[in-house]
Amino acid sequence: MVMTMPKVVVIGGGPSGICAAFYAKQQNPDADVVVIRREPGFIVPCAIPYAFGLLSPEKIISKSPDNLVTSVGVKLVIDEVVEIDASSKVVKTAKGEKFPYDKLILATGSVPVMPPIPGSDLENVFPTPKSLDALSNVVKAVEKAKNVVIIGGGFAGVEIAAEVSRRGKKVSIVEMLPHCLQLAFDEEFCEKGEEHLKNHGINVYTGVKAERFVGDGAVKEVELSNGEKIPADVVIVAVGVRPNTKLATDMGLELGPFKAIKVDEHMRTSNPDVFAAGDCCEKISFITKKPSNLRLASIGAREGKVAGINAAGGDVTFPGVIGVFSTEFLGFGMGAAGFTEKAAKEEGIDVVVGNAVGFDKHPSTMPGTMQMHVKLIFRREDMKLIGGQVCGGLTAGEIANMLGFMIYKGATAEDLANMQYGTQPMLTPPPISYLVCRAAENALSEA
Amino acid sequence: MVMTMPKVVVIGGGPSGICAAFYAKQQNPDADVVVIRREPGFIVPCAIPYAFGLLSPEKIISKSPDNLVTSVGVKLVIDEVVEIDASSKVVKTAKGEKFPYDKLILATGSVPVMPPIPGSDLENVFPTPKSLDALSNVVKAVEKAKNVVIIGGGFAGVEIAAEVSRRGKKVSIVEMLPHCLQLAFDEEFCEKGEEHLKNHGINVYTGVKAERFVGDGAVKEVELSNGEKIPADVVIVAVGVRPNTKLATDMGLELGPFKAIKVDEHMRTSNPDVFAAGDCCEKISFITKKPSNLRLASIGAREGKVAGINAAGGDVTFPGVIGVFSTEFLGFGMGAAGFTEKAAKEEGIDVVVGNAVGFDKHPSTMPGTMQMHVKLIFRREDMKLIGGQVCGGLTAGEIANMLGFMIYKGATAEDLANMQYGTQPMLTPPPISYLVCRAAENALSEA
State how far residue B282 is from chain A, nearest Cα, in angstroms. Answer: 17
Closest chain A residue to the Cα of B434, Cα to Cα: A298
Burial of A350 (0-12, 13-18, 19+ CB in 10 A): exposed
| Residue after which a domain boundary falls, among B211, B239, B267 | B239
Which residues does chain B have within 8 Å of residue A324's beta carbon, measured at their own beta carbons?
A: 420-422
State how far residue B234 is from chain A, nearest Cα, in angstroms. Answer: 25
Which residues does chain A have within 8 Å of residue B62's beta carbon, measured at their own beta carbons?
A: 362-364, 430
Q: What is the ipTM score, two decimals?
A: 0.95
| Residue after which a domain boundary falls, among A239, A258, A282 | A239
- Give the domain extent around B93: 7-111+242-311
> Does position B241 have pLDDT exceeding 80, yes or no?
yes
Considering the domain architecture, whether residues A168 and A249 belong to the same structural domain is answered as no
- A105, part of any domain: yes
State how far residue B227 is from chain A, nearest Cα, in angstroms. Answer: 36
3-state secondary structure (DSSP) of residue B203: strand
Read off φ and ψ for residue A334, nearest 5 degrees: -135, 145
Cα–Cα dist A372/A392, whole Å: 4
Per-residue model confidence (pLDDT) at position B1: 46
Considering the domain architecture, whether residues A79 and A182 belong to the same structural domain is answered as no
Burial of B197 (0-12, 13-18, 19+ CB in 10 A): buried
Which residues does chain B have within 8 Å of residue A300's beta carbon, measured at their own beta carbons?
A: 431
Q: How far is CA A222 from CA A123, A194, A206, A233, in A?
A: 13, 20, 14, 10
| Residue after which a domain boundary falls, among A255, A277, A311 | A311
User: Residue A284 in contact with residue A320, Cβ under 8 Å?
Assistant: yes
CB contact under 8 A, B326 and A54: no
Report the Cα–Cα distance between both ends of chain A, in Å, rounded. 68
Task: For chain A, 447 residues long, give each residue's pLDDT as a single digit of tens.
Answer: 455 689 999 999 999 999 999 999 999 999 999 999 999 999 999 999 999 999 999 999 999 999 999 999 999 999 999 999 999 999 999 999 999 999 999 999 999 999 999 999 999 999 999 899 999 999 999 999 999 999 999 999 999 999 999 999 999 999 999 999 999 999 999 999 999 999 999 999 999 999 999 999 999 999 999 999 999 999 999 999 999 999 999 999 999 999 999 999 999 999 999 999 999 999 999 988 999 888 899 999 999 999 999 999 999 999 999 999 999 999 999 999 999 999 999 999 999 999 999 999 999 999 999 999 999 999 999 999 999 999 999 999 999 999 999 999 999 999 999 999 999 999 999 999 999 999 999 999 998
Q: Is A19 a catalytic residue?
A: no
CB contact under 8 A, A335 and B396: no
Average pLDDT over residues B139-159: 98
- B192, part of any domain: yes
Please state the length of chain A: 447
Considering the domain architecture, whether residues A366 and A426 belong to the same structural domain is answered as yes
Considering the domain architecture, whether residues B129 and B235 belong to the same structural domain is answered as yes
Q: List all residues 6 or more positions away from B408 whose beta carbon is below 8 Å from its beta carbon.
A: A415, A419, A420, B286, B319, B322
Average pLDDT over residues B243-257: 97
The secondary structure of chain A, three-state, reads: CCCCCCEEEEECCCHHHHHHHHHHHHHCCCCEEEEEECCCCEECHHHHHHHHCCCCHHHHEECHHHHHHHHCCCEEEECCEEEEECCCCEEEECCCCEEECCEEEECCCEEECCCCCCCCCCECEEECCCCHHHHHHHHHHHHHCCEEEEECCCHHHHHHHHHHHHCCCEEEEEECCCCCCCCCCCHHHHHHHHHHHHHCCCEEEECCCEEEEEEECEEEEEEECCCCEEECCEEEECCCEEECCHHHHHCCCCECCCCCECCCCCCECCCCCEEECHHHECEEECCCCCEECCCCHHHHHHHHHHHHHHHCCCCCCCCCECCEEEEEECCEEEEEEECCHHHHHHCCCCEEEEEEEEECCCCCCCCCCCEEEEEEEEECCCCEEEEEEEEECCCHHHHHHHHHHHHHCCCEHHHHHCCCCCCCCCCCCCHHHCHHHHHHHHHHHHC
> Does position B2 have pLDDT exceeding 70, yes or no?
no
Helix (H) / strand (E) containing B311: helix B297-311
Closest CA to A362 of B253, B150, B397, B155: B397
Q: How far is CA B177 from CA A206, B53, B173, B241, B388, in A?
A: 60, 26, 12, 17, 22
> Does position B347 have pLDDT exceeding 80, yes or no?
yes
Question: Count of domains in chain B?
Answer: 3
State how far residue A77 is from chain B, nearest Cα, in angstroms. Answer: 19
Q: How many CB atoms lie within 10 A of CB B424?
A: 28
Considering the domain architecture, whether residues B58 and B43 belong to the same structural domain is answered as yes
Q: Choose, from B19, B46, B190, B391, the residue flagged as catalytic.
A: B46
CB contact under 8 A, B432 and A18: yes
Closest CA to A355 of A441, A229, A258: A441
Q: How far is CA B114 from CA A20, B240, B394, in A?
A: 58, 9, 32
CB contact under 8 A, B401 and A428: yes
- B371, part of any domain: yes
CB contact under 8 A, A423 and B44: no
- From the list B65, B394, B430, the residue facing A427 with the nearest CB is B394
Which residues does chain B have within 8 Å of residue A432's beta carbon, measured at their own beta carbons?
A: 15, 18-19, 22, 65, 68, 301
Q: What is the CATH number of the domain that holds B417?
A: 3.30.390.30
- B2, part of any domain: no
- B256, part of any domain: yes
Considering the domain architecture, whether residues A134 and A233 belong to the same structural domain is answered as yes
Cα–Cα dist A231/A148, whole Å: 8
Considering the domain architecture, whether residues A162 and A259 belong to the same structural domain is answered as no
Considering the domain architecture, whether residues A398 and A254 belong to the same structural domain is answered as no
Considering the domain architecture, whether residues B288 and B141 belong to the same structural domain is answered as no
The full DSSP string for B401-419 is HHHHHHHHTT-BHHHHHT-
Per-residue model confidence (pLDDT) at position A399: 98
Considering the domain architecture, whether residues B276 and B213 belong to the same structural domain is answered as no
- From the list A19, A61, A430, the residue facing B432 with the nearest CB is A19
User: Residue A268 in contact with residue A310, Cβ under 8 Å?
Assistant: yes
Per-residue model confidence (pLDDT) at position B31: 96
B3 — pLDDT class (breaks 50, 70, 90): low
Considering the domain architecture, whether residues A333 and A430 belong to the same structural domain is answered as yes
- B356, part of any domain: yes
Average pLDDT over residues B407-418: 96
| Biggest distance spanned by C-alpha atoms of chain B | 75
Average pLDDT over residues B66-80: 97
CB contact under 8 A, A427 and B335: yes
Q: For chain B, what is the mean pLDDT?
A: 96
Output the CA torsion sign for A122, A125, A130, A131. positive
Per-residue model confidence (pLDDT) at position A3: 54
Per-residue model confidence (pLDDT) at position A294: 87
Per-residue model confidence (pLDDT) at position A1: 46
Q: How far is CA A128 from CA A61, A135, A136, A160, A235, in A?
A: 17, 8, 12, 9, 10
Cα–Cα dist B66/A29, whole Å: 61
Q: List all residues 6 or more positions away from B436 whose beta carbon is below 8 Å from its beta carbon.
A: A401, B356, B374, B376, B388, B399, B402, B403, B416, B419, B421
Task: Write the single-letter amino acid at B153.
Answer: G
Q: What is the CATH number of the domain that holds A168?
A: 3.50.50.60
CA B324 to chain centre: 9
- A317, part of any domain: no
Task: Write the single-letter amino acid at B17.
Answer: G
Q: Could you check whether the bond before residue B178 is cis, i.e. omega within 30 degrees of 0? A: no
Per-residue model confidence (pLDDT) at position A306: 98
- From the list A335, A362, A433, the residue facing B422 with the nearest CB is A335
- B189, part of any domain: yes
State how far residue B224 is from chain A, nearest Cα, in angstroms. Answer: 31
Considering the domain architecture, whether residues B432 and B329 belong to the same structural domain is answered as yes
Closest chain A residue to the Cα of B368, Cα to Cα: A54
Among B423, B434, B441, pick the best mutation site for testing chain A contact (most A Cβ within 10 A): B423
Cα–Cα dist B154/B173, whole Å: 10
Per-residue model confidence (pLDDT) at position B206: 98
pTM of the model: 0.96
Q: How many CB atoms lie within 10 A of CB A153?
A: 27
Per-residue model confidence (pLDDT) at position B437: 97
Q: List all residues 6 or more positions away from B159 whose beta carbon is below 8 Å from its beta carbon.
A: B49, B50, B327, B328, B329
